[in-house]
Amino acid sequence: MATVAAVIASTHHPFYYRASTSAGAERPPFADEWVAKIEAFRETLTRARPDVLVMVGSDHFHQLWLDNMPQFLIGKAPCYDANFYNEEREFGLPRMFVRGQEELSAYLLRAGIDAGFDLAFSNELRIDHSITCPLITLRPQTDLPIVPVYTNIFAPPLPQPRRFVQLGQTIRQLVEAWPSELRVAIVGTGHLSLELGGPRQFGPHGPDPEFDHKAVEWIATGDLKSALAEVSLDSLWLPGNATHGFMDFMLMMGVAGENATADHVDTLDLFHTMEAYFTWYPHGVPGPTGGTT
Amino acid sequence: MSKYLLDKFLYTVDRDAGLVERYRSDPRGTVAWWEAERANVILNCPEPERSSWLAFTDVEREALATHDYVTLFELGAHNFLLLTLFIALFERDYDEPLAFQREFAARLSHWKVPYPDIST
């Protein structure tokens, strides 16, 4: 059976690419610290020696639109082109290209539907920065095939938080039951408190630092019980009007497992948002050469 | 009230570099053209297989025609679409990084949660 080599959850900040590649007067003062944290985070994936990446994210009104909006969608294609004109325009993101792992896509679709999730699929999906940001931070050489998993955190009515958790739990179970010798890393990105297009946007830090600290603690300790008790579709409007992206973190908590303590936890308090990075190793922390310590 | 159509306008303009410039320089004319020619096009259908019923209210049309993002927010336009397109339209007019985004926030500062409903 396949091995879940690592479970990784993080924020996806579209400004990282520009901040990390800029120089001189253009380089923001926080860039060096940010790059150091990302390089340490990247090492947590490298050490897991993955063969394939399951990438959980959310289309930001690029390909998926209100005339035909899926709640949960899996890409099943041999290749994925990536990033869109408005991401190039606003964030300076490059156009990218990634190979797909169609066999795992097909398996997750069939087994996921049979497990009770009526998953949508796409055979021609252009992925956006919710997936390319973690590729840029965690695997910039983009040498591994991926399976994109998209969730709707954007266009109400949204699925309930518990469905995100259940989907994460199901993905974990299905990958572990996949008849393959490959090592799979499951990577997902979301948000802590976030405001976009509202009065609290682009402040000196995230719109609700208290929520952020609580959320980081839930994620780092796998405290699904508290997260599910305190988070609802209504409550997520309070920390910021784009905070429903936190449900992708809840999905990743489902992947990691109840009460699973993260092996790597790091945060960075930036203007506008708090960045947060988590890695779990279900089979023990690998050494730098891939052995188990 | 047609929040969906407001969002469709923001979405279809934002993804087209030429339309972004056209809407910046001639908002009223672009909105009139778009409502007449594009509002009823179903994005994944051949153009003749279009809808027949989509139109802006007067308040919506005027808000779009005057780049009035405060009113658009209050009408329930999707916050992400609104921000993204208006950054493309106006960020370039400000000297400081994020100055437009902060002005956008300040002009909405009379709003506390709950914000206008963005459900379509």
Nearest CA in chain A to B72: A197
Q: State which H helix or E strand residue B104 sits in.
A: helix B99-107
How far away is chain A from the Cα of B80, in angstroms, using its nearest Cα? 6
Residue B12 touches partner A, C-beta closer than 8 Å: no
Q: Which of A279, A240, A55, A26 is nearest to A150 (CA)?
A: A55
| φ, ψ (nearest 5 deg) of residue A184 | -110, 125
Looking at beta carbons, which residues of chain A come within 8 Å of B98? Answer: 202, 271
At residue A216, the pLDDT reads 98
Is B40 strand, coil or helix? coil
Please list, residue by residue across A37-62, b when 16 or more beta carbons sit within 10 angstroms of its beta carbon and e when fewer do: bbeebbebbebbebbbbbbbbbbbbb
CB burial of residue A155 (10 Å; 0-12, 13-18, 19+): buried
Q: How far apart are CA B71 and CA B57, in angstroms?
A: 13
Q: Which of A168, A189, A186 is nearest to A54 (CA)?
A: A186
Residue B120 touches partner A, C-beta closer than 8 Å: yes
Q: Do A202 and B102 touch (CB under 8 A)?
A: yes
CB nearest to A241's CB, from B14, B79, B119: B79
Is A28 strand, coil or helix? coil
Per-residue H/E/C for A242-276: CHHHHHHHHHHHHHHCCCCCCCEEEEEECCCCEEE
How far away is chain B from the Cα of A198, in angstroms, using its nearest Cα? 6
Nearest CA in chain A to B4: A66
Q: How many CB pairs under 8 A join A and B?
A: 83
Reading chain A (293 residues) residue by residue, the pLDDT tens digits are 999 999 999 999 999 999 999 999 999 999 999 999 999 999 999 999 999 999 999 999 999 999 999 999 999 999 999 999 999 999 999 999 999 999 999 999 999 999 999 999 999 999 999 999 999 999 999 999 999 999 999 999 999 999 999 999 999 999 999 999 999 999 999 999 999 999 999 999 999 999 999 999 999 999 999 999 999 999 999 999 999 999 999 999 999 999 999 999 999 999 899 999 999 999 999 987 555 55
At residue A284, the pLDDT reads 95
CB nearest to B111's CB, from A84, A154, A199: A199
The answer to whether the pTM exceeds 0.80 is yes
Per-window interface: B 68-107 vs A, CB < 8 A: 73, 78-84, 87-88, 98, 101-102, 104-106
Q: Do A199 and B113 touch (CB under 8 A)?
A: no
Q: Which of A27, A29, A80 is nearest to A57 (CA)?
A: A80
Sign of CA dihedral B96, A129, A86, A241: negative
Q: How far apart are CA A22 and CA A24, in angstroms?
A: 7
At residue A287, the pLDDT reads 87
Give the number of residues written for chain A: 293
At residue A208, the pLDDT reads 97
The CA-atom distances, in angstroms, between A177 and each of A168, A182, A259, B30 are: 14, 12, 22, 54
| φ, ψ (nearest 5 deg) of residue A255 | -65, -45
Mutate to test the interface with A, among B38, B50, B100, B104 (most CBs of A within 10 A): B104
Residue B38 touches partner A, C-beta closer than 8 Å: no
Q: How far apart are CA B72 and CA A78, in angstroms?
A: 40
> Which two structure tokens, joined as six digits, stand for B101?
């985004």
At residue B47, the pLDDT reads 96
Nearest CA in chain B to A155: B119
At residue B1, the pLDDT reads 63
Q: How far apart are CA A187 and CA B43, in angstroms?
A: 31
Q: How far apart are CA B118 and CA A175, in angstroms?
A: 36
Looking at beta carbons, which residues of chain A come within 8 Å of B88? Answer: 86, 89-90
Please list, residue by residue across B7-38, b when 16 or more beta carbons sit within 10 angstroms of its beta carbon and e when fewer do: bbbbbbbbbeeebbebbbeebeebbeebbeeb
What mean pLDDT is reported for chain B? 97
Residue A288 touches partner B, C-beta closer than 8 Å: no
A97 pairs with which residues across the strands?
Answer: A81
How far away is chain A from the Cα of B32, in angstroms, using its nearest Cα? 22
Instruction: Give the side-chain half-sphere CA count within 13 A for A230.
Output: 13
